[in-house]
Amino acid sequence: MAYNWTRVLRSGMSGNDVRELQIRVAGYAAATASRTFIAVDGQFGAGTEGAVRRFQASYGLTADGIAGQQTHTALNNLEASNGSTSHFNWSEFHSKDGAQFSNGALSASQVQENVRRLMYKLEAMRRKLGNIPLSINSGFRSRNHNSNVGGASNSMHLYGSAADVASSATPTRMADVARTCGFSGIIRYNTFTHVDSRAETTGAGYYWP
């Protein structure tokens, strides 16, 4: 079911609907490479307004930083009926050992919420790359699966806040775009790019090699 936006949102407002707005525009955190992210704190400040403006411009809307009906509709068009997003499915992010979202660093419900937030950033990344499909090589990992693949003991995959992403774009190109999408962890590999939200999830510093 689409989110029920009940009011026009603008700078200075606060509330749960502002939090939801922040989640959905988080991938528009910056216009150029910037170590910044949109805090999901329910406070509509300058960072949120800038992200709304960039989202609106991306979708051909009036970029005034005010989230009214047209912006609400564009945001809801990104939401799938099961609560995932239009271009990503929950199953793509399930741990590959069959644990789905269980047995990680957080409860399954918390992991799933982190995955949902990750999806919206990936929707922005996908659009900025020219609407090309993104494949998720690895999403959430249970502790067992993370250990089996040699993952770091504090891997963001354990929190549902990371994805290894492949596409027709080069890993370098994906990493460059990810730097505008609010990701705080970015690692280029030969055939894919790792992105994560470590600064938001655990308060860890940025890792942009």
Residues annotated as catalytic are: 194
According to DSSP, the residues that pair with 194 across neighbouring strands are 164, 187
Compute φ and ψ for 187, nearest 5 degrees: -135, 125
Q: What is the dihedral of CA 43, 16, 81, 60, to 10 degrees?
A: -30
Contact (CB, 8 A) for 141 and 158: yes
Contact (CB, 8 A) for 112 and 106: no
Q: How far apart are CA 80 and CA 74, in angstroms?
A: 12
